Amino acid sequence: MSDDPYLSVIIPAYNEALRITEPLNYIAKYLSEQKYTWEIVIVNDGSDDDTAQAVDNLHLPNTQIIGYPENRGKGYAVNYGFKHSRGRYLLMCDADNSTPFEQIEKLLPLVEQYPVIIGSRRLKNSQVIVKQQVARLIASNLGNWLIQALLLPGITDTQCGFKLFSREAAIEITRYQTIWRWGFDIELLYIAKKNHLKIKQVPIKWRNVEGSKVQSAKAFINTLNELLKIRWQSICGKYSGSRQSH
């Protein structure tokens, strides 16, 4: 009988030494109270602070930190975490716990029906407790419009860092992944769409957590560039190995 856990939680981390302790303790405590088996995999994305030491100092059960020397981007860290985790279901979530971890209770009941389940801040019953600054909100709204227009019509929130995949879906999607930084979420969902993998959007509770390293103008420009790259790669047949949608 396999000892692989039911759920793997993949947390990409870059220079999170100052704020990762509280969220990790919270997540581990929540999981320790559940009936299913689990593991937490923190991917140290080439941090040059004490992120690894901060995690090690917690001595949390079923938790490991893995990584590599140079910063490669959040998308690379998620890909790396998927490949080095063992769970039947793989949840990627942010190190700041901006989506309170218990929101997973809204996602897990759907795993038998949907191979890709994403938390959304833009659905009717979503709850945004602390909103983003105006500049970031404007950039986010414009970016969302472009993403839907060019690649993913009907997907209201590609950027929320709370996504659950079946292991089979994650393996299939990451085979074709090429975007490692700003637009990686978009590409993951686009590849899922190309493979006819059903995507379920779920309204979640979310709060903006101070300390983000993302600058709105830079994030918007870089995400737009990678959005156009995904579109161009699709036109050129970059994703032609996957089962094309018609």
DSSP per residue, 175-228:
TT----STTHHHHHHHHHHHTT--EEEEE-EE---S-----HHHHHHHHHHHHH
Rounded to an integer, the average pLDDT of 78-88 is: 98
Residue 195 tokens read as 């493979």
pLDDT at 133: 60
Digit-coded pLDDT (tens) for 197-246: 999 999 999 988 765 555 566 778 898 899 999 999 999 988 866 554 43
AA letter at 13: A
Architecture of the structural domain at 7-235: Alpha-Beta Complex (3.90)
Whole-angstrom distance, CA of residue 106 vs CA of residue 160: 15
DSSP 102-169: GGHHHHGGGTTT-SEEEEESSSTT-EESSPPPHHHHHHHHHHHHHHHHHT-TT---S--SEEEEEHHH
Digit-coded pLDDT (tens) for 34-50: 999 999 999 999 999 99
Digit-coded pLDDT (tens) for 107-141: 999 999 999 999 999 898 999 886 656 566 666 67
pLDDT at 135: 60
Q: Which of 16-20, 143-147, 232-236 has the lowest mean pLDDT?
A: 143-147
Whole-angstrom distance, CA of residue 195 vs CA of residue 5: 26
Beta-carbon contacts of residue 73 (< 8 Å; ≥ 6 apart): 45, 180, 181, 184
Whole-angstrom distance, CA of residue 55 vs CA of residue 232: 40
4 touches 87 (CB < 8 A): yes
Mean per-residue pLDDT over the chain, rounded: 90
What are the Cα distances from residue 224, in Å, to 142, 174, 216, 219, 231?
Answer: 10, 21, 12, 8, 11
pTM score: 0.90
Residue 83 tokens read as 């490949």
% of the chain with per-residue pLDDT over 70:
89
Q: For the chain, which residues make up each domain, given as ranges?
A: 7-235
